Amino acid sequence: MGKRAKNYLKSLVKKGDTVRLEFDVEVRDKYGRLLAYVWKDGKMLNMEMICNEYAFLLTIPPNVKYAQDFRECFRKARKRTLGLWR
């Protein structure tokens, strides 16, 4: 499943593409990992991955800016059996 998700993400972002990072309340998690919403050409790639079921929904407070949008998108995608759950 991880390889399919990685390949899908590679189809969205190519080497040399410009992306913009948007941060929420916390910039890094307790392990030092960068926490960001990734935008390319006006589309949020986090949302693309969730809406097409190549990523599980995981929202950890206080970074909840798009939590409701992610939940709705995930719910709709599961009904359509997209991505990894085809």
pLDDT in tens, 1-43: 789 899 999 999 999 999 999 999 999 999 999 999 999 999 9
Distance CA 1, CA 84 (A): 6
Q: What is the model's pTM?
A: 0.86
Domains annotated for the chain, with CATH where assigned, are 2-85 (2.40.50.90)
pLDDT the model gives residue 47: 96
